[in-house]
A and B are shown apart, each in its own frame.
Chain A
Amino acid sequence: MGRFIARRTVASAISLAFLVMAVFFLSRLTGDPTDLYLPLDASQEVRDNFRELNGLNDPILLQFAYYLGDMARLDFGTSLRSAEPALAVVLQAFQWTLVLALVTMAFVTVAAVILGSLAAFNVGGVLDRVATFFSLIGASAPDFWLAIVAIVIFSVNFGWLPTSGTGSIWHWILPVSVLFIRPFGLILQVVRGSMINALGSAYVKTARAKGVAPQPIIFTHALRNAMLPVVTVMGDQAAGMLNGAVIVETIFGFPGVGKLMIDSILQRDFAVILAAIMVTAVAIFIMNLLIDLAYALLDPRIRY
């Protein structure tokens, strides 16, 4: 197990190194940073100063070496907008995104697993049909539309909930609800399909012959076997959220990493963009590692 984690860490470090390289050279490909960073009407003197100050007159490979050195010290530079260290800005925003993703995924998991399992236990029953109907709608509805409609109904018409921002528990309800719907529909369907398989398996027959009641058959015998594909899809969905739920965060004015990235791109705040890319990449790597460990935890036949 320790060796597995070490191996995966090395492999991810290599991917990260390639990412670092790609980011550096791609951002140079977009043009001279002087043109990108400075206002269009900046004087030649200002431009020269800027070049000198940021080492842009050095050969490209030397610039890359400096850049690597900065990376190694976790120094991503300073945000142009806030004049704070870029990493601190990103971590601040990332906390919000992380909590949003965790809260949403917790609700999604509990709801989808319970409803999906019960739907699978009685295929074609009322619960199954209702759950399948709504999960298909949920999985296909675009979230920008849902977000706007939710604001119109609950904030504007009824005035029950704030339209955007943060500050109270009420501010969380709309973003979490909108983010909830799509993964919920998707994961419910995966749980249902996987559970139908597990409930039809031979070991469930054995459990019935032992006299095990329906509830433990579903949740003790079948569910753990059915969870592997569910965990895979859950990881995929959670990765999407950690990347920053760009649309939902932007619409609800939620100060997460998705909104931060959009704002930084629009204002060419390269240091922040770079830091945000690295932070989310590391987060996704850690999450994938956790998923692999979850496999081993769920299924004793999987050992690393």
Chain B
Amino acid sequence: MPDPILEVRDLSVTFETARGPVRAVRNVNWHLARGEVLAILGESGSGKSVSASAVMDLIDIPPGRIDSGEILFEGRDLLKMSPKERRKINGPRIAMIFQDPLSHLNPVWTVGWQIEEAMVIHGTGRAEARSKMIELLGKVGLPNPAEAAAKYPHQFSGGQRQRVMIAMALALKPDVLIADEPTTALDVTVQAQILALLEDLQRETGMGLLIITHDLGVVAEIADRCIVMNKGEIVETGTPAQIHNDPQHPYTKKLIAAAPGKGQMSDGGDGRSLLLQMRGATKAYGDVAVLHGIDLDIHAGECVAVVGESGSGKSTVAKLITRLEPASGGTAMWKGEDLFTMPPRRLLEVRREVQMVFQDPTQSLNPRMSVQDIISEAWVIHPDILPRHRWRDRVAELLEQVGLEPDHAHRYPHQFSGGQRQRVAIARALALEPRLIICDEAVSALDVQVQAQVIRLLARLGRELNIAYLFIAHDLPVVRDFADSVVVMKLGRVVEQGPVRQIFDTPRQDYTRNLMAASLDPDPDVQAARRRQRQEMMA
């Protein structure tokens, strides 16, 4: 093994919180060599980002506290250095990029200024920094670098913003680059591009690359070595192939087993009655058309997945069906009536049968309402469903149905974990005994294991209660396991649709094939095959 350039030894970090001290990481050891890609894999709350924050001096003390350990950079302990010395290392020697580049770039300064600043504060002259900045923007693949430099972060797409972040981090050719969930907020195709860019740059400069991620696919795609963290401790270390094919620790085994994309694909249900038939649906905001004639069928009890990159119009389709937005044209027949032109009173009845579950239950559940109130509010609006004296029992029943305890009814949303909150949201949707539930990225924000549980729950409810789903998602492995049929959308048009098996096994359109090839598989062998396929497609 080559000499590590960065080494974390026996690091323990505690955060003081209102509920007492939380030990974020305990006795963590890892090292990173030049030219190596190390991944730290973990779910939310595993402490996977904490040691990187300690490296960058980003832990606020208080409420944080470093209990023990050292962080050796070229043999010198960073934790013993003065803040001024550490600022000389941050940037030129160790650089970092983050998830969600929109909030991590300063909204009021041009991207050119922000990249130049990274150089100027470490002693580069203004003029030199300026020419280097333009060069960097070109190198990370932004068209018209000189023009791009004068723009502000909000004027770029998510992928372009991450490219700007990378240009900024690499400005002074650091020895180590730390990437904290660098592709989590991005589309699959953009994710593949950003990972490829990181890999190219890493090979070119020979820097060490530390990737922090929750995504086994990212590990399989890019890492040389992987550390698995759970509850602040390292449970396993190995190559991605070792971790995936032969996990040792029980936690790792569960994590690998929960990864989506390996289950039996649905063959679709035959002879089900047609629930919703959408024909030629269009939507325009002013002069900007976002949907150009969408045809879509949903049968009773069927799960129809809608996939596509951001901006493809997936969520707009959902908004038209629920009439949260009026359609500009077309029809959507629901039991012989057109949803798009239905009078308001009739619409209220239909809305009862069409419910929604959103991506972020933290935002979509009212924080000041108890679970009892959240679920029974539906019956306040639709009083004919259930007499008031039965509300309490029915809420308890619904909570059990989604795998929660009846006495959870008195709790408030913040007292639940993310997965539990999504269960509450599902119970709320079920309260109206819907025929169709629209899930808009409903499992995207959840950890793999929780995601698998929620998907199993949705599948069971679908079978038992004969509920159909319109499942809007960007995560293809989840779609593969859960959907009966798939609609692929691009820029407001349906590119391809069909049974899930056909779309995944024999996609007909290039766009679908690209989407499949860009999607990451947790299995390093599958992933290696996909890389070859991608390279062939590019060649």
Binding site for B on A (CB under 8 A): 201-203, 205-213, 216, 221, 224-225, 298-301
Contacts and interface: CB of A to CB of B under 8 A. Distances in A.
A224 B108 CA distance: 7
A5 to B, nearest CB: 22
Contacts of B168: 206, 210
B87 A213 contact: yes
8 contacts: A202-B98, A203-B104, A205-B98, A209-B90, A212-B121, A216-B121, A221-B109, A301-B154
Interface in B76-130: 84, 86-92, 95-96, 98, 100, 103-109, 117-118, 121-122
Contact of B89 (A207, A211, A216): A211
B103 A213 contact: no
B106 A211 contact: no
B56 interface: yes
Given A203-B104, A208-B58, A212-B87, 14 more contacts: A203-B106, A205-B98, A205-B104, A208-B56, A208-B57, A211-B92, A211-B118, A212-B117, A213-B84, A221-B109, A225-B108, A298-B108, A300-B108, A301-B152
A121 to B, nearest CB: 12
A209 B96 contact: yes
A300 B107 contact: yes
Contacts of A210: 90-91, 95, 117-118, 121, 168
Given A202-B100, A300-B152, A209 B95 contact: yes
Nearest to A297: B108
Contacts of A299: 107-108
Contacts of B98: 202, 205-206
A300 B111 CA distance: 12
Residue in B57, B100, B118 with the greatest tally of chain A CB atoms within 10 Å:
B118
Query: Taking each of A211, A216, A225, which has the highest tally of chain B beta carbons within 10 Å of its own beta carbon?
Result: A211
Contacts of B106: 203, 206-207, 221, 225
**B89, B92, B103, B104: residue with the most chain A Cβ atoms closer than 10 Å:** B104
Contacts of B95: 209-210
Contacts of B107: 203, 225, 299-301
Contacts of B121: 210-213, 216
Nearest to B107: A301
A221 to B, nearest CB: 6
A6 B118 CA distance: 41
A221 B107 CA distance: 9
Interface size class of B (residues with CB under 8 A): 20 to 34
Given A209-B96, A211-B89, A211-B91, A203 B118 contact: no
Contacts of A224: 108-109
Contacts of A298: 108
A202 B121 CA distance: 19
Contacts of B100: 202
A300 B151 CA distance: 9
Contact of B122 (A208, A209, A211): A211
Nearest to A124: B62
Nearest to A208: B58
Contact of A205 (B58, B89, B92, B122): B58
B348 to A, nearest CB: 38
Contacts of B105: 203, 206
Nearest to B94: A209
Contacts of B154: 300-301
Contact of B91 (A202, A203, A209, A301): A209
For the complex of A and B, the 5 pairs showing the least CB-CB separation, nearest first, are A211-B90, A211-B91, A202-B103, A203-B106, A211-B87
Nearest to A228: B108
Nearest to B103: A202
Nearest to A224: B108
B111 to A, nearest CB: 11
A207 B117 CA distance: 9
Contacts of A203: 103-107
A59 B91 CA distance: 79
B112 to A, nearest CB: 13
Contacts of A212: 87, 117, 121
Nearest to B86: A211
B104 A211 contact: no
Contacts of A207: 106
Contact of A202 (B92, B104, B109, B118): B104
A301 B91 CA distance: 28
B75 to A, nearest CB: 20
Contacts of B165: 206
A205 B87 CA distance: 13
Contacts of A202: 98, 100, 103-104
Contacts of B88: 211
Contacts of A213: 84, 87, 121
Contacts of A221: 106, 109
Interface in B172-223: none
B182 to A, nearest CB: 13
A209 B58 contact: yes
A224 B110 CA distance: 13
